[in-house]
Amino acid sequence: MAEPSFLNAIRQSYDAVAEDYVRIVAPPERMDPLTRAMLAAFADLVRAADRGPVADVGCGPGRVTAHLDSLGLSAFGVDLSPRMVELARTTHPHLPFSVGSMTALDLDDGSLGGVLALFSTFHTPPEHLPTVFAEFHRTLAPGGHLMLWGYVGDHEVLRPTRAYGGHPVSYEAHLLPVERIAELLGEAGLVVTARLVCEPAGKARWPSACFFAHKPDRS
């Protein structure tokens, strides 16, 4: 099956911006207190459930993966961009990172205690989100947790031409309403337990939403 074209656009764009992304985007120690608190809450949930490791999908240069490790989680990273994965492996050699797509994760069914998708799903066209969320559900163990955070809007589509230091990019950003994202998570079999909507602040130009969800434990 041919790879969807949007994946190649994301891959090429993040390969191009990787070095400046590291320079421009704040590492976990300089994130705002709310983001750090949400990550800490996610870590608490995963540790308490004790269902397995955490996959940081769309991990970029691996700094948040390393932060999860510092919070006591067994964490690894997956990213579509080979250059991002190369930077992650160089900077955090004690952690595993691999090139892969969240549309088809190379992971066993029920093998994860947690999935973190931190600003990594909004490049996905809405018609492909059911596939992504089904992969989250498939790879999570019963009782496993998902934390998803991304930009939201009223079905807006953004097509930037340059980003992160002025590098050419060809990806799109799809900003869906909060209710639609929650609906898609539910359709994938995940139970949404909390959602937090944040107004634009700092350099952010759009609102964002953080979702906590879990895969039901049928036992």
Specify the pLDDT at position 203.
72
Contact (Cβ atoms closer than 8 angstroms) between residue 18 and residue 39: no
pLDDT at 127 over 60: yes
pLDDT at 219 over 60: no
The helix/strand/coil state of 155 is: coil
Domain ranges of the chain: 5-214
- The average pLDDT across 153-158 equals 97
pLDDT at 2 over 80: no
- The average pLDDT across 2-16 equals 93
- The average pLDDT across 178-183 equals 98
pLDDT at 120 over 80: yes
Average pLDDT of every residue of the chain: 96
pLDDT at 32 over 60: yes
Task: Kindly write down the DSSP assignment for every residue of 100-127, as one continuous string.
Answer: --TTS--S-TT-EEEEEEES-STTS-GG
For 3, residues 6+ apart whose C-beta sits below 8 A from its C-beta are none
Sheet holding 97-99, edge to edge: 97-99, 75-79, 54-57, 112-118, 140-151, 208-214, 191-198
Residue 7 corresponds to which amino acid? L
5-214 falls under which CATH superfamily? Vaccinia Virus protein VP39 (3.40.50.150)
* Helix or strand run (H / E) with residue 198: strand 191-198
Contact (Cβ atoms closer than 8 angstroms) between residue 125 and residue 63: no
Of the two residues 59 and 3, the one the predictor is more confident about is: 59
| Through-space distance between the first and last CA atoms of the chain, rounded to whole angstroms | 36
Query: Taking Cα atoms as reference points, which of 28, 18, 132, 19 lies closest to residue 71?
Result: 28
Q: Which of 28-32, 145-149, 202-206 has the lowest mean pLDDT?
A: 202-206
Instruction: Quote the tokens at residue 33.
Output: 């207190």
pLDDT at 4 over 90: no
pLDDT at 202 over 80: no
pTM reported for the whole predicted model: 0.96
Give the model confidence (pLDDT) of 54-88 as tens digits.
Answer: 999 999 999 999 999 999 999 999 999 999 999 99
Could you tell me the pLDDT band of residue 201, with boundaries at 50, 70 and 90? confident
Specify the pLDDT at position 1.
60
